[in-house]
Amino acid sequence: MSAEPRINDRIRVPEVRLVGPNGEQVGIVPIAKALELARESDLDLVEVAPTARPPVAKLMDYGKFKYESAMKAREARKNQAHTVIKEIKLRPKIDPHDYETKKGHVVRFLKAGDKVKVTIMFRGREQSRPELGFRLLQRLADDVEELGFVESRPKQDGRNMIMVIGPHKKKAEAKAEAKAERAARDEAAAASDEPA
């Protein structure tokens, strides 16, 4: 069964509930009369509700209808936000300055509306001390609490320990906020460039 609606002679039912070109109800009419009305008004007869009893058909310009629905679908895809998972890798014995740098990356990713997968890599004897990695992940989660939440708790996966942090804000909200901030900065820059 194709997703395309049946039009004109492809509609194989004895009668249809006809809707006029401006959305007005014409009523239940035989298919021959509906096709005749479509030809007279130089429009197509398009089946809009095939499961109704009797099926609902509308008089419309089918080419224009297809074009408009394709444009709507394209616009919807353009506004769709894709969730990206960013990854940060740490070691259990990380230097405080390096930790702050990595935390800064996590903060930036969460502000942009992306999820962050935090991986702690254990080497050699570090594997016998998984609590070090767990404490580090817990500390990171507490540090970025206002921007994100722990989506999946820390769990050991071979030599690694993994935790996923999700943003509180949706990707679309973060994009809109960043756009507004940029516009405000541009306005302020333009205002400061103007001579007094």
Give 137-158 pLDDT, tens digit per residue: 999 999 988 888 888 898 988 8
User: Measured over all CA atoms, what is the biggest interatomic distance in the chain, rounded to whole angstroms?
Assistant: 86
pLDDT for the residue 119 = 93
How far apart are alpha carbons 116 and 100 in whole angstroms?
Answer: 16
Q: Are 159 and 167 in contact (CB under 8 A)?
A: no
Confidence of residue 1 (pLDDT cuts 50, 70, 90): very low
Higher pLDDT, 44 or 100: 100
For residue 132, what are its two tokens?
A: 């070090």
Question: In the predicted model, is pLDDT for residue 32 greater than 90?
Answer: no
Residue 79: predicted pLDDT: 73
Residue 196: pLDDT over 60: no
Q: What percent of the chain has pLDDT over 90?
A: 19
Give the model's pLDDT for residue 173. Answer: 75
**Mean pLDDT computed over 89-101:** 92
Q: Is the pLDDT of residue 92 over 80?
A: yes
Please choose, from the candidates 84, 145, 141, the residue with its C-alpha nearest in 3D space to the C-alpha of residue 118.
141
pLDDT over threshold 80, residue 102:
yes
Contact (Cβ atoms closer than 8 angstroms) between residue 84 and residue 115 = yes
Average pLDDT over residues 70-75: 87
Pick the more confident residue, 110 or 84: 110
| Cβ-proximal residues to 90 (8 Å cutoff; 6+ apart), any chain | 99, 102, 118, 119, 120, 121, 136, 140
Residues facing 104 on adjacent strands: none
User: Given this model, what pLDDT does residue 179 score?
Assistant: 80
Percentage of the chain exceeding pLDDT 70? 95
Note whether 113 and 174 are within 8 A (CB). yes
CB 30 within 8 A of CB 14: yes
- Name the band, by pLDDT with cuts 50, 70 and 90, for residue 195: low
**Average per-residue pLDDT for the chain:** 85
Q: What is the pLDDT averaged over residues 111-130? A: 89
